Structure 1
Amino acid sequence: MTDEGNTDQGSAGSRRAKILFPAGMLVLAAVFTALGIWQVQRLFWKLDLIARVESRVHAAPVPAPAEVEWPAVTAKDGEYRHVTASGTYLDTETLVQAVTEYGPGFWVMTPLKRDDGTTILVNRGFVPTHKKAPADRSHPSGPVQVTGLLRKSQPGGAFLRSNDPAAGRWYSRDVEAIAKTDGLIKVAPYFIDAQAGPSDGSLPIGGLTVIKFRNSHLAYAMTWGALALMSLVGFVYGLRAAKR
């Protein structure tokens, strides 16, 4: 009696396993297919984003957003827009650590006071570490016109390092924190990456904005698709085994 009971239980367990295996493979195939479709959607979204940014970068410059437009300045609607702004540089600067094609150094962030009383932080460009002293670079006086790319604020820090305003150590271009530290008011929630100036070797060096978007969605979609196909093969194999 005991042996027959164990045999029956073993047969029932084997049947359940033969049913559960193809069912599990089918569920996995559905999940992997959904993930693959999602990555394809992300791929087209990323391609559209790249196309929009390219059109902004190479378009004719437009006036930088005024104060009433600040709430609408978002990564989707405004970043990398080719803009221009007029005003006077204030006698204060913030150096933000950077690494460029010229090596390690700093971005020179200078407030631009506009006629309407608002201020825009301008990344005037890059200076190498050994040229960080104010005497080693130009500082325009009087009215100036700046042309460059609109960039969103970069709050917090970068590369696992937090900004330390009290110590004067900056790792990201955090507009709000820089404005607070320098006592600035009515500051735009974005900054401008100034375009390249005259090629006379003067500092800072503008026009070093790197526009590069990681786009691995096609590879991810193919990976999920391959896993979905493998799961379908497992489903068919399990189904045939169950029938046998």
Structure 2
Amino acid sequence: MNLRLILTASLSIAILAVFLGLGKWQLDRLQWKQDVLADIEARIGADPVDLPAQPDPARDKYLPVKVTGTMGNETLRVLVSSRDAGAGYRLISALTTSDGAVLIDRGFIRVADTMPARPAGEITVEGNLHWPDDRNNATPDNQPTDNIWFARDIGQMAAALSTRPILITARQTTPPEAAITPMPVTSAGIPNDHLEYAMTWFLMAATWVMMTGFALWRMKRRTRDTRIPRND
């Protein structure tokens, strides 16, 4: 075998090893992400506890809590879309507790639905602490003065409703709010694309093998043809 074939084969094997290594790395990341999501789901579904005095976004993310208080009169409507119900609003209200007022994400209503009245008297909310990231490059700015909201900005909402900058996404309320569909915290929105990435790298590896095999076959054939003497 000539030097050119050896160099081409060696380089191709090295590149193939890179593709396979990246695919294996993505599979390892997939297993890691599945473990993380399982831990998050277990944390979300744990028994609720009292609201910490000073919730921390890193330490208390998804922490299940139970609070009791009275609901404020004003409700913020955040425009969202539900896969099953279509366009609608998340309803954000203030709940005044013995430790101060906090934000409650009460759940979802459709755009055409009538705004439900606030619960009378005390209400108990079981849900999860959440620091949502609803914004992307296409999200318009909130307009708090006009009560027009496109993202749950905890700081802006807390200022608008005069609460602590704490958001609890309701899982259930007692007594229940029949006109509102809860949209509890889940791990469904956390991206996990590592399997697709792994398959992409393995597909590239398979394609590289075919391309390399064809190239080596052509090079070998060309070398053989040059060695065959012509009969003039």
- Say yes or no: TM over 0.5: yes
Question: What corresponds to 2:165 in structure 1?
Answer: 187
Question: What corresponds to 1:161 in structure 2?
Answer: 139
Question: What corresponds to 1:130 in structure 2?
Answer: 112
Structure 2: distance between partners of 1:48 and 1:42: 10
SS in structure 2 of the partner of residue 126 of structure 1? strand
Question: What corresponds to 2:178 in structure 1?
Answer: 202
Question: What corresponds to 1:115 in structure 2?
Answer: 98
Can you list the C-alpha shifts for 1:119-178, whole angstroms capped at 9, x where unaligned?
Answer: 321111212212344xxx1312443321013322335x3582223224432122121122
Q: Give the conservation status (yes or no) of the 8 Å contact 1:196–1:207.
A: no
Deviation for aligned residue 1:107: 0.9
Q: Give the conservation status (yes or no) of the 8 Å contact 2:94–2:161.
A: no
Structure 2: distance between partners of 1:126 and 1:183: 19
Can you list the C-alpha shifts for 1:91-139, whole angstroms capped at 9, x where unaligned?
Answer: 322100122223321111012233223x321111212212344xxx131
The runs of 5 or more residues in structure 1 that have no matched partner are 1-13
The runs of 5 or more residues in structure 2 that have no matched partner are 225-232
Deviation for aligned residue 1:194: 1.2
Match among 41, 45, 62 for residue 28 of structure 2 = 41
Match among 183, 190, 199 for residue 222 of structure 1 = 199
Q: Give the conservation status (yes or no) of the 8 Å contact 1:40–1:221.
A: yes
What letter is aligned with 2:41? E
Question: What corresponds to 1:139 in structure 2?
Answer: 118
Q: Give the conservation status (yes or no) of the 8 Å contact 1:158–1:172.
A: no
Deviation for aligned residue 1:202: 3.0
Instruction: Mark the CA change 1:211 to 1:199 in structure 2 (over 3 Å): closer, same or farther.
Output: farther
Match among 128, 131, 146 for residue 152 of structure 1 = 131
Aligned length: 217
Instruction: Mark the CA change 1:217 to 1:149 in structure 2 (over 3 Å): closer, same or farther.
Output: same
Deviation for aligned residue 1:78: 3.9
Q: Give the conservation status (yes or no) of the 8 Å contact 1:125–1:205.
A: yes
What letter is aligned with 1:105? G
Question: What corresponds to 1:177 in structure 2?
Answer: 156
RMSD: 3.4
Q: Give the conservation status (yes or no) of the 8 Å contact 2:71–2:119.
A: yes
Instruction: Mark the CA change 1:164 to 1:216 in structure 2 (over 3 Å): closer, same or farther.
Output: closer
SS in structure 1 of the partner of residue 93 of structure 2? strand
Bigger Cα displacement from structure 2, 45-54 vs 191-200: 191-200
What letter is aligned with 2:111? T
What letter is aligned with 2:47? A
Instruction: Mark the CA change 1:177 to 1:20 in structure 2 (over 3 Å): closer, same or farther.
Output: farther
